[in-house]
Structure 1
Amino acid sequence: MAAFDALPGAVRDGAVIVHFGSPLIEQRRLAAGEAVVPLTDRTLIEVAGEDRLTWLDSITSQSVARLRAGDSTELLVLDPQGRVEHAAAVFEDGASVWLIADEADAEKLAVWLQRMVFRSRVTVTVRSDAALAGFFAGGAAEARLTPSAPNGTPLIWRDPWHEVQPGGHQYAAVEGHPASDYAWSVAVVDDPAALTAPFAGALAAEALRIAAWRPRWSNEVDERTIPHESDWIRSAVHLSKGCYRGQETVAKVHNLGHPPRRLAALLLDGSDVVMPAQGDIVLAGDAEVGHVTSIAMHYEDGPIALAMLSRRAPVTELIVRTHEGVDIAAAQQVIVPADAGATAGVPRLTRLSRRPVAEDPRNAR
C-alpha cells in the first residue's frame, strides 16, 4: 500500500511490511500497547445507504441491524452449505458501515455484496487507498493515532474476539481464555506519514493473534471450513437471529452434530532451526491428522502454531512434518473439543419392541 511507502526501516515481503528489524522486540512493544502496525494486507470497504444495517443483517451470519455509531463486531458470509466464503470486521459510524477484510478476500467480498443489493438502498465501495493501522488499546500507541472521522465518529474497530459476543457460543473448554486480554484494534488513519515510531510488523501482529487462538480468513479458511471448527461462533455468528444463507448447517451442527474438524494450538519444539509453514502436515504417529494453518515465533512461548485437525485426531503430542521433511514435536492445546456441538437435548423415543406386551389389551389374560 503506497500510504506506508515512506516508513523507515520497513522490511517487506511483497506489499506486506513483515518487520522493522527486530520482530521479537516489536512484538513485546505491540503487546504492551506501545507500537503501531501498518496493515498493508487489509482492505477497507464502505457500505452506505439507509438500508445498510438491515440488509447486512439479512445476508450474513451476524446480527447487525441494531448497531449504533461506534459499535464494532464481525461477520461471516456463508455458502448454502454453511461453509465460510468471506469474513470481515464491522464498524458502524452512524452513516456508513465500514468492513475490514483480508486483502485477498476484499474484492471478492465487495463483488458478492454488490450482487446482493437488488432493490435495497445500499452502495458498496472499496476504499483501496485507505490506510489501516493496528494496535492494542489502552497504550501509548492509541494516543499517537489520529483516526479518520468522515461522519463524525472516529473509525476505530475493536476486535470482539476477547469475549463471547451476544448470540455467540464458545466451544473452548478453558478457564482464562488466552483472548481475554486481546485488545486488538484497527484504526483508519488520514495521514499515515504522520505516524511515529515505535512500529511493529506483520510478524508481531500474527504471533499475538495465534497466541490468542484467533482465526483469520487468509489462514484458517479453506473450501471446507465451517465456523464451528475454529470456535468462530464465539464472535462472528449470532445463533438466534433471523434466517440467512448457511444458517441451517450452523444450527444443525451446533445443536445435533459435531464439526468434522477442530482447530488446535501447537507449542512446537524449538530446538531445530527449521520452522514449519502454512500447509505443512500434522501427524499422530504415522497417520496424517491435519495441517498447519498459522505459524509464528512468540516472544515468550517460542514457536507456536494453529492447526486444523480431524475431529478424531487424538489429544496427544503430535508431529509437524515440514516440506523439507523435518519432523518437529508439537504439544497440543485443544481449542475446539472433539465433542463440540450437539448442544440440544433431544428426547429419545422408547423403541416399540421394548414396550410391555401387557399394554395391548388383546394380549391380557
Structure 2
Amino acid sequence: MNAPTDTASPLLRLPGAVAADPTGPDAGVAAHYGDPMREQRTLAETVGLVDRSNRGVLQVPGADRLSWLHTLGSQHLERVDAPTGSELLLLSPHGHIEHHAVLAEFDQAVWLDTEPGAAGALLDFLTSMRFLLRVEPTDVTAGYAVVSLVGPDAPAALARLGVPELGPARVAAVPPAQFATGAVPPAPTSTFPVVALPGGGFARRMPDFGDAAVIDLVLPRPALAELPERLAVPVAGSWAYEALRVAAGRPRFGLDTDHRTIPAEGGLLASAVHLDKGCYRGQETVARVHNLGRPPRRTVLLHLDGIGEQLPAPGTPVLRDDRQVGVVGSAARHYELGPVTLALVKQNVPADAALRIGDANAAIDPDL
C-alpha cells in the first residue's frame, strides 16, 4: 500500500527529515528526523508530533450514514452519540478482514481514516453498497491529513490549541464464549472521545501505547506546516511511532494481517467487533470461532536476539524446529526492548516455544 502521490507533506521539509522507504507502507512521510531512538524516548516520556498524513481519509455524510455502516460492518453504530470515534472492520463472506478503518462521527458526517493507499478500494466498496440510501461516501484525502500527538504530555500539548481536554479511550472487554444474548450493550465496543479543532477538523483520543497517550488530529492539509510550532512540540518519525505501536501489541491492517486473517486472530476483536450485533457479512464465522474459543492463529509479540542487522520483512516465516508455524508482521527496533516484531502464529504454538526468524532466535512475550 503506497501513499497518495498528490499530498506531499510539508513536514518532510523540516530540518533533519529522512523520508521513509518510497516502496514501503509509510511512503510519503518521514521515517525519522535524525535520531530515531531519541524520538522514541520523546514519545514514551514527554510528547512528540508524528506525521501520518499518508493515511487515506473518507467522509460519509447523509442521513442514513450510521445505520448503513452498522449493517455493513462489524461495529455497532446505530446508537452513536456525536462527536465520538470507534473502529470498524468490513469482512468477506467467510469472515476474513478486507477493510479496517478508524472512524469519527463528527459534524454531520462519519469520517473514516485508513492505511496509506487503502482509501480507493474502501471507497469503491462503499460506493457499490449505496443502493438507494442517503449516503455520499467521498475521498477527501487531498484536503485532510492525519497526524498524531503521542506521549504522556499529549493532552497538555493539545490544550495549547484551546480545545477541551479529552478523556481516555475506552475498549470493552471481550465477552466469554457462549455468552447470553443481550449481554453486550447495544453500543460501540470502543469509544474514542472527539473534539472540534479551531480552523476545522477534529482531535480524537485513541488507546494509549503503554503510558503514552495517543491523540489523532484530522485537519485541513494547509494547517500541517505550522502545526509543530502551534503545539510547541518536537516532531518524530514513523519509525518511533511504529516501535511504540509494536511494543504495545497494536496490530496494523495489511502488515499484521493477511488475506486469511479473521478478527479473532488479528487482535482486533475488542476494539472493532460487536459480538452480539449480527446481520453483517462474515458474522457467522466471527460468532462460530468465538464460541469455539480457538481461532486457527493468534497475534503475538516476539523478542529477537538481535544477531542480524536487518529487521525481518513482513511475510518472513516464523520457524519452530525448522517447520513454519507463523509469519512476521511489523518489526521495529525499540529503544528499550531491542528488536521486536508482531507475528501471526498457529494457535498450538506454546508460549515458551523456541522460535527462529531467519538467523535470529525469537521468543514470545508472555505479558502481551
TM-score calculated relative to the size of structure 1: 0.80
* Offset of residue 221 of structure 1: 1.8
Secondary structure of 1:28's aligned partner:
helix
2:147 counterpart residue number: 133
Contact kept in structure 1, 2:54 and 2:145, CA below 8 Å: no
* Offset of residue 254 of structure 1: 0.2
2:124 counterpart residue number: 111
2:39 counterpart residue number: 26
1:156 counterpart residue number: 203
Query: Is 1:228 aligned to residue 228 of structure 2?
Result: no
Cα distance in 2 for partners of 1:233, 1:317 equals: 25
Identity %: 43
Q: Deviations over 1:48-98 (max 9, x none)?
A: 011111111110000112222221110000011000000000111141111
Secondary structure of 2:82's aligned partner:
coil
**Matched AA of 1:320:** R
Secondary structure of 1:77's aligned partner:
strand
Secondary structure of 2:67's aligned partner:
helix
* Offset of residue 150 of structure 1: 8.4
**Matched AA of 2:100:** A
Superposed counterparts of 1:129-278, under 5 Å: 129=142, 130-136=144-150, 138-139=153-154, 140-144=156-160, 149=196, 154-159=201-206, 161=207, 181=211, 183-190=213-220, 191-196=223-228, 197-278=233-314
Cα distance in 2 for partners of 1:218, 1:18 equals: 19
* Offset of residue 144 of structure 1: 5.0
2:167 counterpart residue number: none
**Relative to structure 2, which stretch is displaced further, 83-92 or 303-312?**
303-312
Secondary structure of 1:208's aligned partner:
helix
CA RMSD, 1 decimal: 2.4
* Offset of residue 32 of structure 1: 3.1
**Relative to structure 2, which stretch is displaced further, 72-81 or 91-100?**
91-100
* Offset of residue 334 of structure 1: 5.1
Report the structure number with the largest CA radius of gyration.
1
Equivalent of 1:37 in 26, 41, 50:
50
Q: Deviations over 1:89-122 (max 9, x none)?
A: 0111141111110012211011101111111100
**Matched AA of 1:156:** A
Query: Is 1:6 aligned to residue 27 of structure 2?
Result: no
* Offset of residue 271 of structure 1: 4.2
Contact kept in structure 1, 2:246 and 2:330, CA below 8 Å: yes
Contact kept in structure 1, 2:43 and 2:212, CA below 8 Å: no
* Offset of residue 186 of structure 1: 1.2
**Matched AA of 1:214:** R
Contact kept in structure 2, 1:33 and 1:135, CA below 8 Å: no
Equivalent of 1:313 in 349, 352, 356:
349
Query: Is 1:332 aligned to residue 364 of structure 2?
Result: yes
**Matched AA of 1:2:** A
Q: How many residues matched?
A: 315
* Offset of residue 8 of structure 1: 2.8
Cα distance in 1 for partners of 2:322, 2:111 equals: 47
Q: Which runs of 5+ in 1 are unaligned?
A: 163-178, 337-365
Equivalent of 1:70 in 79, 83, 88:
83
